[in-house]
Amino acid sequence: MRWWGVVALLVAASCGGADEELPRLDLIGEAVAAVVADTGGDPALFEVLADREGVTVTVAETEIDMDSGDVTGLFARSYRFEGGELGEPTKPVRAEGAVFAASAVPSLDVAVASGVRDALDDPTIVDLAISGAPDGAVVIDLTVISDMGGRILVLVRPDGTVLGVQAD
């Protein structure tokens, strides 16, 4: 009787934490919080991308003319969060596109992938991206590949409801 209890405990412990078949959704909140702490305030983001090893957070930065106060350019700088550590940001590069506030990043768990898993036959989910919509809202998509090499983007709600599919 005791032996089975130990085996059950070991099996339960080995199953805890991140689902190795999914991107690191469990790190998104921690990664965004680390970027917020590093940049201060509520930075505008271009994208939050979770893959199987960690999370990349791409921050939007503006260049302002010191004389007029006008915005003269938009730049992107990426941070990588992996192994519990926030890496140094990349050098800024010119960018354009919709942004969203870091505070708008939804809390996600494995349920976000459940609709995709239910709708597709044994999907391989490579990554999950949260990006900005023109109105400042967030868009969530998952990159899915098939055994045959096909690749699609699946647009989902935070609860996992599939909204649409697009060939990549």
- Spatial contact of 112 and 162, defined as CB atoms under 8 Å apart: no
What is the arithmetic mean of pLDDT over 41-47? 93
Q: Is the pLDDT of residue 136 over 90?
A: no
Confidence of residue 135 (pLDDT cuts 50, 70, 90): confident
pLDDT at 92: 93
pLDDT at 167: 87
Q: Is the pLDDT of residue 158 over 90?
A: no
What is the arithmetic mean of pLDDT over 156-160? 84
Residues 6+ apart with CB under 8 A from 96: 74
CA 129 – CA 112 distance, rounded (Å): 12
- Spatial contact of 23 and 127, defined as CB atoms under 8 Å apart: yes
**What's phi and psi for 36, nearest 5 deg?**
-60, -45
3-state secondary structure of 39: helix
pLDDT at 137: 84
More confident residue, 25 or 117: 25
pLDDT at 3: 32
Confidence of residue 56 (pLDDT cuts 50, 70, 90): very high
Residue 143 in tokens: 């990159």
CA 141 – CA 153 distance, rounded (Å): 6
CA 13 – CA 135 distance, rounded (Å): 43
Confidence of residue 41 (pLDDT cuts 50, 70, 90): confident
Q: Is the pLDDT of residue 123 over 80?
A: yes
More confident residue, 121 or 42: 42
